[in-house]
Amino acid sequence: MPSNSPKKALDLVKQHDVKIVDVKFMDFIGVWQHFSIPVSELTDDIFENGLGFDGSSIRGWRAINESDMLVIPDAETAIIDPFQQPTTLSLVDDIHEPVTKERFGRCPRGIAVAAENYLKSTGLADTAYFGPEAEFFIFDDVRYDQGQNFGFFHLDSVEAIWNRGREEKPNLGYKIRNKEGYFPVPPTDQLQNIRNEMVMVMEACGIPVERQHHEVATAGQAEIDFRFDSLKSCADKLMLFKYIVKNVAFKNNRTATFMPKPLFGDNGSGMHVHMSLWKNGQPLFAGNQYAGLSEMAQYFIGGILKHTKALNALANPTTNSYKRLTPGFEAPVNLAYSQSNRSAAIRIPMYSPSPKAKRVEFRCPDPSCNPYLAFSAMLLAGLDGVINKIHPGEPLDKNIYDLEPEELAKVPSTCASLEEALNALEDDHDFLLKGDVFSADVIETWVKYKRENEVNALRLRPHPFEFALYYDM
């Protein structure tokens, strides 16, 4: 059976009496886009020749004079959309050139496919497994706006510490103090049921969930962990995961955000990413080195640490990301590795002695990233370490907050801003070009888009806190 046989999709159409087909694809920046067709338009031909659309209207893609593009559905991604009516089949698509049918170079999912193919071509391994832990906030109310003469945001949550004295008729007093959201039982945790609903929908959509819980911050911070998978499949599941979280929240008259740092004075939302390499069904990261690692795993860590600042541009791709990645707090900004130190950029989990569980956890990324690009870049950085035998040096097992200033100064840090990260990516991206996974065009377009639309756009606008600091000067 060919890899993109339409059988799975067409079988679901018959089994569930599908009426509408929703075509979803990833834009360059990291947000799902979609359009829908009646089921009568879903033919075998679409899985080979695709459907046309206007690529000039998608961020970071095509100019208006070269706008024609194709989406080709991946039949293996077919599910019944849990939120749409009438009964709707959901398909994730790849982007292709209309004449040659080649993958479009800026298609994030295509880059993930190229990364997996490059891994196999090295002969080092045949599968890279990824397991992201995406944190998020569930709020009851969000308002924000920006104009020439004003700018503000306002968030609210029934759990929030700032609502201890609010007249709620009645206020029942179960408010989570800052940094005490991990793990009080209900009624203090008031979002247990909505997280359970998210889990049930994820399981029904083929995402195997391992656990869910309230996270550290006040005001509805949450985490739901799903089982690891191969690179592209894991990125597919993460996008479906975010879709489910947002829509279940919306259904319950709440709103969910994966913005890394929506609140001042409490924890932000990260996305620790667990990674391991396998070959012929056997794990390659277990050995007799530090923390039970293999030599390959240590070199993989060396590559990640060497390229972390460049990776920041893809794994922490927003200006807001660096409100979380701030030295001196709990964020993992220290470019070191450890089996126990959660302030290090890389941790080696020690929960299980099984070789199959041996993995490295990259703690810098956050859930605002485009996972196809971020996971691909992480894999390429690690492989660069393995191929070039980049040793990560000595582990950092000391409490970072107890280090003397002279010793702490010797530990390098992640980037402190998106601008710094983009500069780092410009200076250090040859490792991303290996195997034609990323192209120079992709790197240049990413940097240009982020600078013009985010870094410079924010730089030009007064910040509300500046009025508190300077208005009476």
Q: Residues with catalytic annotation?
A: 54, 133, 135, 215, 223, 272, 342, 361, 363
Cα–Cα dist 246/336, whole Å: 34
- DSSP per-residue letters across 402-424: GS-HHHHTTS-B--SSHHHHHHH
Cα–Cα dist 125/74, whole Å: 25
Largest CA distance in the chain: 73
Residue 83 CA neighbour count, 13 Å, CB half: 16
Whether 232 and 339 have beta carbons less than 8 Å apart is answered as no
Q: Where do runs of H (alpha helix) occur along 265-342?
A: 295-315, 321-324
Are β-strands 360-362 and 68-80 bridged in parallel, bridged antiparallel, or unpaired?
unpaired
- DSSP per-residue letters across 214-227: E-SSTTTEEEEEE-
Helix or strand or coil: residue 110? helix
Residue of 271, 267, 304, 274 whose CA lies nearest to 383 = 304
Residue of 174, 168, 383 whose CA lies nearest to 296 = 383
Q: Which residues contact 376 (CB under 8 A, 6 or more apart)?
A: 111, 112, 114, 115, 231, 437, 438
* Alpha-carbon distance values, 56 to 62, 93, 438, 442 (Å): 4, 17, 21, 16
Whether 21 and 87 have beta carbons less than 8 Å apart is answered as no
Whether 94 and 71 have beta carbons less than 8 Å apart is answered as yes
Cα–Cα dist 94/25, whole Å: 7
Report how far apart the first and last C-alpha atoms of the chain are (Å, whole number): 73
Cα–Cα dist 209/375, whole Å: 20
Cα–Cα dist 53/56, whole Å: 9
Looking at this protein, which amino acid is placed at residue 335? L
Strand partners, 144: 153
Looking at this protein, which amino acid is placed at residue 114? A
Phi first, then psi: give them for residue 345, nearest 5 degrees. -65, -30
Whether 93 and 110 have beta carbons less than 8 Å apart is answered as no
- DSSP per-residue letters across 239-287: HHHHHHHHHHHHHTT-EEE--S--STTS----EEEEEEEEETTEESSBS
